[in-house]
Structure 1
Amino acid sequence: MELNGIKPAAGSKKNRRRVGRGIGSGLGKTAGRGHKGQKSRAGGYHKVGFEGGQMPLQRRLPKRGFKSHLLKYNAQVTLEALEKLGAAEVDMMSLKQAGLIPEIAKVVKVIKTGELKLAVKLTGIYATAGAKAAIEAAGGSVEAAVGKQA
């Protein structure tokens, strides 16, 4: 085999359609565009969602809600995950190293899902009321981060 002998598989390459090249091609004269009108002309076509001047659907429907771009910086951890982690003291760094929260997270909150029997001391991490009660019942403590709660 030589480099100059390499060819694509038979039938894998198809010639592109050459329109407007005479009657014999089957796509001469109007070149498959029909007669007159906006669609037949070069550069003549409407934008996506155009409904012939009628108020478009995206403008007829009411605007509703939004998704905050700051949500990606928030993370949550369950009591079950803390139990599996098995550490006596937990902070943001230990959660990131364990892979429980993404590296980008800035605010972490513990939620009450599952059970916690281990005494855990949380530092710089928020907890819901139910989660805080469960942590304290297990003999742990919550030192929330300074600043606004997420």
Structure 2
Amino acid sequence: MKLNDLSDNPGASKNRMRVGRGIGSGKGKTAGRGVKGQKARTGVAVKGFEGGQMPLHRRLPKRGFYNPFSTDYNEVNLGRIQQAVEAGKLDAATPVTLEALIAAGVISKPRDGVKILGNGKLEAKLAFEVAAASKSALAAIEAVGGSIKLLVVAEEPVSA
């Protein structure tokens, strides 16, 4: 077999339709675009246009808003922290901070800080320095003899 002997299977490829080449071709005159008007022309952009009627996306009511001052915490469960301690990625002697959790691979991005949640069982006595913690997490940390220091984020002064 030679390269010039290679060919597609019969029916695998089809020649493109050449439009606008006379009425005898079956695709002459308007070239399959119907009759005149906006859509018969090139460069048509009618997404969402309803012929002059108010479009659906403008008829529906707007809901909610985006709060630019919202906080987005990394939420970490106590069970996940215990796994990192057992794997040797977190040192029980040093405080558990945002930087320590990133270095241990528990979280990937700093965001606005860390919030500790109480799901899972904590057995190691750890000192936490985090932005927030749930009530169940606080209770579980203090139950094993650990401590938690909540870092207060400086708030913007409200102008009168």
TM above 0.5: yes
Is the Cα contact below 8 Å between 2:77 and 2:116 reproduced in 1?
A: yes
2:151 is equivalent to residue 137 of structure 1 = no
Structure 1: where are the runs of 5+ without partners?
Answer: none
For residues 71-94 of structure 1, the C-alpha deviation after alignment (integer angstroms, 9 at most, x for no partner) is 896311001112112242311122
1:65 maps to 2:69: no
Q: Name the CA distance, whole Å, in 1 between partners of 2:49 and 2:119.
A: 49
1:125–1:39: structure 2 CA closer, same or farther, 3 Å change rule? closer
Letter paired with 1:77: V
Deviation at 1:15, TM superposition (A): 3.5
State the aligned residue count: 147
| 1:107 alignment counterpart | 113
Deviation string 1:106-130 (CA, Å, 9 cap, x unpaired) is 4111011122222111024421222
User: Structure 2 length normalisation: TM-score?
Assistant: 0.73
Instruction: List runs of 5+ in structure 2 lacking aligned partners.
Output: 86-90, 156-160
Q: Deviations over 1:93-112 (max 9, x none)?
A: 22112221113434111011
**TM-score, normalised relative to structure 1:** 0.77
Question: Once the two structures are aligned, what percentage of the paired residues are identical?
Answer: 46
Q: SS at the partner of 1:102?
A: coil
Task: After the TM superposition, list the runs of 4 or more consecutive aligned residues in structure 1 that deviate by more than 4 angstroms.
Answer: 4-14, 66-73
